[in-house]
Chain A
Amino acid sequence: MRYYTPQDEWIEVDGATATVGITDYAQGQLGDIVFVDLPEPGRTVEKGKEAAVVESVKTAADVYAPVSGTVTEVNAALADNPALVNESAEGEGWFFRLRLADPAELEGLMDQAAYQASLAAR
Chain B
Amino acid sequence: MALDADLKALPLDALHRSLGARMVPFAGHAMPLHYSEGVIAEHLWTRAHAGLFDVSHMGQLQLSGEGAAHWLETLCPGDFTGLRPGRMRYSLLLAEDGGILDDLMVTNAGDRLDLVVNGATREADLAHMAARLAPGLALVHRDDLALLALQGPDAAAVIARLGAVPAAPGGVAVDALKFLQAGSFVWRGVPLAVSRSGYTGEDGFEISVPVAAAEALAGALLADPAVRPIGLGARDSLRLEAGLPLYGHDLSPATEPVEAGLAFAISKRRKMEGGFPGAARILKALFEGPARKRVGLRLEGRQPAREGAAIHAGDAEVGVVTSGGFGPSVGGAIAMGYVAASCAADGTALAIEVRGRRLPATVVPLPFWQKSYAR
Interface residues of A (CB under 8 A from B): 31-32, 34-35, 37, 53, 55, 57-58, 60, 82, 86
If over half of B's interface residues share one DSSP class (helix, strand or loop), that class is named, otherwise mixed; here it is mixed
Known contacts A31-B233, A35-B326, A37-B355: does B302 contact A57 (CB below 8 Å)?
Answer: no
Interface centre among A32, A53, A82 (most CB of B within 10 A): A32
- A31-B34, A32-B38, A32-B40 known; A57-B306 Cβ under 8 A: no
**CB neighbours of B40 from chain A (8 A):** 32, 34, 57
**How far does the alpha carbon of A58 sit from the alpha carbon of B1 in the complex, in Å?**
15
- Taking CB atoms, residues of chain B closer than 8 Å to A60 are 304, 306
Residue B39 is within 8 A (CB to CB) of chain A in the complex: yes
**In the complex, residue of chain A having the shortest beta-carbon distance to the beta carbon of B236:** A57
Chain A residue with Cβ nearest B33:
A58
Interface pair B233/A53, CB less than 8 Å apart: no
In the bound complex, CA of A31 to CA of B333 (Å): 17
Return the contact of A55 from the options B34, B303, B328 (Cβ within 8 A). B303
B118 at interface, CB cutoff 8 A: no
Residues of A within 8 A of B41 (CB): 32
Is A34 within 8 A of B326, CB to CB? Answer: yes
Q: Which residues of A contact B302 (CB under 8 A)?
A: 34-35, 82
Q: Which residues in A have their C-beta under 8 angstroms from that of B355?
A: 37, 53
A110-B237 Cα distance, complex, nearest whole Å: 37
B325 at the interface (CB under 8 A from A): yes
- Interface footprint category on B: 10 to 19
The smallest C-beta distance from B44 to any residue of chain A, in angstroms, reads 11
Cβ–Cβ contact A35 & B303, under 8 A: yes
Nearest A-chain residue to B1, judged by Cβ: A29
Give me the interface of B with A, judged by CB distance under 8 Å.
33-34, 38-41, 233, 237, 301-304, 306, 325-326, 328, 333, 355
Expressed in whole angstroms, the Cα–Cα distance for A82 and B282 within the complex equals: 45
Q: Which residue of A lies closest to B234 (CB)?
A: A57
Q: Given contacts A31-B34, A31-B233, A37-B355, is CB(A55)–CB(B39) below 8 Å?
A: no
Residues of B within 8 A of A35 (CB): 301-304, 326, 333
B106 CB, nearest partner CB in chain A, Å? 32
Give the distance in Å from the alpha carbon of A57 to the alpha carbon of B325 in the complex.
7
CB neighbours (8 Å) of B303 from chain A are 35, 37, 55
Q: How far apart are the CA atoms of A32 and B267 in the complex, in Å?
A: 41
B304 and A31 contacting across the interface, CB-CB below 8 Å:
no
CA distance A31 to B355 in the complex (A): 21
The 8 A-B pairs at the shortest CB distance, nearest first, are namely: A34-B326, A57-B39, A32-B40, A35-B303, A35-B302, A32-B38, A32-B39, A55-B304
